[in-house]
Structure formats: structure tokens, C-alpha cells
Chain A
Amino acid sequence: MGLNISAAVQIRALADTPLPELPALLVPALGETLAMVGIVMLVVVSLGTPIAVALHNMAPGGLFEHRGTYSVLSWIVNIGRSLPFLVLMAAIVPFTRFVTGTNIGIAAAVVPMSLAGIPFFARLVENCLRDVPRSVTAAARASGGSPLQIIRTAQLGEAVPAILGGLTINTIAMIEYSAIAGTIGAGGIGYVAVTYGYQRFDQTVMLATVLLLIAMVTIVQVGGDALVRATTPHLRRRA
């Protein structure tokens, strides 16, 4: 972070980047952001979902109620949720370097983003599962389902639209985190926005990155809403 501040001090009033050169600057950055968010969401969904299922079913009234393990897991998730992303990112630099061998670039950004994203998504999904009426799980048990079958059909299956809503929120949060990670040299739109827009007062680039971020978030939100509608019978137009 010291690096950024010292860079910001060297104010150099450069000319704004000409419009035709914008794509060459922004397209690779967009690619980097999409890669970061994509990889992170893959990790977040594949690890956050099982954690949510475990939390939900170890809580009182769950399929494998276990107070002790629930408290420990819940506590770990809370820790992950309680640090602001910037602080988390700085705090785990040694860990990130241990895992990826570097503390800059996409690889280095993916680690703190995942660590922030997993507990966030786990809590979102846990909430979705809690909203499925208990009697649905009871009916599935009475129908002779194994725990895995019940989790798949009666819990996750019923919560699909809500989980997709949570996925949308989470993806948008990760786009935001990727921009923050950009400030420590992770690349992507955030990096461009900081180096050109903030440090060089390049208004054109600043505006372009803002519009790009707005567009990305909008597309994710609209897409997410469409998925929620498509998976909710009463919101879906019957053919």
C-alpha cells in the first residue's frame, strides 16, 4: 500500500488517453477482471455450498445435528466475514505468498477474494436453506430419502432460486473486491482505474472504467434475475 501512496504523490498531469486507444487498455483489463471473478466464483460456489449445507444441517433441527462442530464452523465463518476486504487482503499476504508464490497479480488476488467470498456465500446459502420449510425436509425423510438425496432434492433443490439470487449478490461483491484487489497490482479494471484515473487524473479512462463496472454489474444483476425467474415455477410463464 505504501507503494500506491508514493505513486500517488508523484502527480503527473498527463494528457487523457485518446478514445481509439481505450480498447487496447480496457479489453485486457476486462479479461483479467472476468478471469479473477470467474475463478473466485468457481472456488466460492464449490466450497461455500458444502459449508452452508454443513452449517444448516449441524444446526439444531438439522439432518446431522451437532452443536459443537456447528459452533466451531460458524465461528470460523464469522471471522472470515468480519474483516473488511482491504484489511483481510493485507493481513493474509504471507499466506497468499505461501499458496501462490507471489503477492501481486491475478493469482495473488484470487486467494484473498476466495477467502472473503467463501464465508459470504456460505452465509447467504445457509439463509436460503433456512427459508425452506422444515416440513419439506421432514416429508423427504418420511419418503425414505438418504441424507444426500434429501440435501439435493428437498434442501438445495427447493432453494435454487434463492441461491441464484445469492450468487448474483456474491458475484457483484466479487467484482467490487476485484477492483479493490486491483489497487495492489492484481490487474483488471480496478488496476486501470487506479493507475490511470486516480494517479494520472486521466478522466477518459476513469469514466470508461466506471461505465464498464456499471455495465458488468448490471449484466450480472439482470442475468441473475432472469435465472431466478426461470427456476421459480410461479414466476415462469407457462408454455
Chain B
Amino acid sequence: MISLKNLTKVYGHGDSAVTVLDGLDIEVATGQILAVVGPSGAGKSTLAQCINLLERPTSGQVIVNGEDLARLPERRLRVARRRIGTIFQSASLLSRRTAAQNIALPLQYLGVTPAETAARVAELLERVGLSHRANHYPFELSGGQLQRVGIARALALRPSVLLSDEATSGLDPETTRSVVALLRQLRDDLDLAVVFITHEMDTVLHVADSAARLEHGRIAEQGSLVDLLTDHDSILGRALQPQLSSADPAAGSRAWHVTYDSRSVPADWLQRISTDLGEPAALLAATIQSIGGTSTGNATVGLRSPERLAAAAFARYGLRAVPRAADPHPSTPATRATEELQWA
């Protein structure tokens, strides 16, 4: 469990002072993965450095397991930092040490006996699936394997919080998926609170339970993935949706953009609405994805019925629906969101 309270970071003094993080409140419960996304320069890496206290926050609290770390003196901070495991973007391994020796580093710093270290390293290598690469040097490992070593090193001191800044950036999609799957597995096995910083929307869908959007050092929105995905007003939710280019509705009918999730909407909503309105509803585009056991849908539906009747039918089954403006160059909400958030 980690919570940030009113976290502020200012670089520089006087006239040249820049407020990079401005009063952030974030909480990640044990067993949860929070994705933090935001455009370049939003302050994501600064946030990461304030969480593991490589940088001191200017004000505010970083509370891990009930203790505020932000004001600890350097010596005690070094001990407290062990509760937070950090995975870096470029793995940041020592090039002259083998995978096993790199994973052993935090244990060595702590003064753990060689025998205990060897046992723990073997266990960690096994956990990240690299037992067969224990004695390989970083230059002999692939990007995904390097990240796994970085993950194992971050876990060496049994932290309760795992922090990852762009850990999957620069990996190919398949490797990203396997690293993300490993993180979720570790979260389950080790009861970690995970802060996953990324600019890749696709990865957010695969890894996170909730997401926060950072913009100009402030949390612009924050919520569970399911809520974000079904909220028409959420920029983040729309950016997370796959980009669909829907078919044009038949002449005389109107296109509706609808979102829903399986917690409140029956699976056969399309049939029911057709029956209620007495016309076949045309499905023009749709995606359904399962987020933590809840399926969320995002669809474009063509209907002839008058706007008032159609809106009432959607509302009856708990769908959120907005008629799509009949503009000559219709753009789906997803593409609009992408235009607003050109992050990658």
C-alpha cells in the first residue's frame, strides 16, 4: 500500500523555479496496479523519482505501509527505500556483472551472507524465468531478459511496492506482453502495490487495474479502468479504446456511440433494444474487452427511431449513448482522443 499526499516537486529557486509536480494525491492498495500515463514532460519520471525518493519531494508525503518516507534523514531513507523496488527503463544493469550478480547487488549492499544471497538469487531467477541465464552478462541477454533481470533485482529485498518507469518502452509487443504478464503474476503472488508508468496506452489495458492521467504535473483524471473505458467524457478512457472506423449508417438512420460494462448491462442489450424499438439495430463498429473480469464494450449502432425514443431505450439497459454528429467527415471518438493525446 502506497499513498502520495499533496506531493509537490519544484525544481530550481526564485524566478527560475519550475513546479513539475503540483499537489498529487495518489493511492495504490496492496494487490493493485495503477498505470500513470501522460504526455512527455508531464512529470512522470519525476513522480517515479519522488516515489522511490531518489529525489526529495519539495512538500507532501510518500507513505508506504503507514510511514511517511519523504522527511526521513538520508541514512534511514536508505533502509526505508528497500520497501520500494524500482524497475528502470533501460534495466540499468552493471555491464561487468552476470545476471545473477546483478540480482545479488541489493543483497550485497545490505550485507546478506553469500549463502543466503545465492539461495535468494536462485529463487528470483526462477521466478522471472531466467534460471538458465544466471551466468550470462547483460550483453548476452535480450531486451526482455534484461528487463526480467531488472525486475528480479527490484524484488530482491522483498519490497511491498513495485515502481516501474517505462519498463516496457522499447520492447516489441510480444515481449511487452510477457513482461506485463510477469508483473501481474508477481503482483498476485507477492501482494505488491504496483505503480506502472508508461506512455503506451495499449500496455495500460493489459497491465492496470486503474489509471491516472498526469498533465502539467497534475492528475487530470484518475479512476478504475472499467470506469474510464465506459465514461464518454474521459479523455483517457477514449485514448484507451481501440481505434475503430465505423461503417456509415444507412440513409435515414442515426449513428449512436455507446459504451457499457457488464456489471450493469445485459449481454444481449442489442437484441433487447431492437425488440423495444421494433427495428433491427445495425452494429456499425464494436469492441468488447475484459478488464479484470468485467467486460467493457464500445460500439457504434445505427438506428432509424427518433432520437428521444432511442435514447430512452439505451438508458433503460444502462448503456451510455450519444448520437454521433452528422458531420461530413465523421471521426470516431477514438481517433479524436488520439488527436488530443499524441503521446507516443
Interface residues of A (CB under 8 A from B): 133, 135-136, 138-146, 149, 153-154, 157-158, 160-161, 231-234
Q: List 23 A-B contacts (CB under 8 A).
A: A133-B90, A135-B88, A135-B90, A138-B49, A139-B86, A140-B109, A141-B81, A142-B52, A142-B81, A142-B85, A142-B88, A142-B154, A143-B105, A144-B78, A144-B79, A144-B81, A145-B78, A146-B109, A149-B109, A153-B94, A158-B95, A161-B96, A234-B137
Which residues from chain B contact A160 at a C-beta distance below 8 Å?
96
Contact with A along B70-104 (1 / 0, CB 8 A): 00000000110110111011101111100000000
Q: Which residues of B contact A136 (CB under 8 A)?
A: 92-94
B299 in contact (CB, < 8 A): no
| Interface size of B in residues (CB-CB distance below 8 Å) | 31
Q: State whether A233 and B96 are in contact (beta carbons under 8 Å apart), knowing that A143-B153, A145-B109 are contacts in the complex.
A: yes
A141 touches B54 (CB 8 A): yes
Check: B106 CB closer than 8 A to any chain A CB. yes
The answer to whether the Cβ of B325 comes within 8 Å of any Cβ in the partner chain is no
Min distance, Cβ A57 to any Cβ of chain B, angstroms: 14
Name the 6 nearest CB pairs between A and B, nearest first: A139-B92, A143-B106, A233-B137, A135-B92, A142-B86, A234-B139
B77 to chain A, nearest CB (A): 10
**Docked pose: A78 CA to B317 CA in angstroms:** 77
What is the CA–CA distance of A139 and B86 in the complex, to the nearest angstrom? Answer: 8
For the complex, give the distance between the alpha carbons of A139 and B85 in Å.
10
Contact (Cβ within 8 A) A138 B88: yes
B157 at the interface (CB under 8 A from A): yes
A143–B88 CA distance with the chains assembled, in angstroms: 11
Complex CA gap A232/B97 in Å reads: 10
Task: With A142-B86, A144-B78, A144-B110 given, name 4 new contacts (CB 8 A).
Answer: A135-B88, A144-B109, A232-B96, A233-B138
A residues near B86, Cβ cutoff 8 Å: 139, 142
**Closest residue of chain B to A233, judged by CB?**
B137
> Whole-angstrom distance from the CB of B284 to the nearest CB of chain A?
47
- List of B residues within 8 angstroms of A161 by Cβ: 96
Per-position 1/0 for B134-150, Cβ under 8 A of A = 00011100000000001
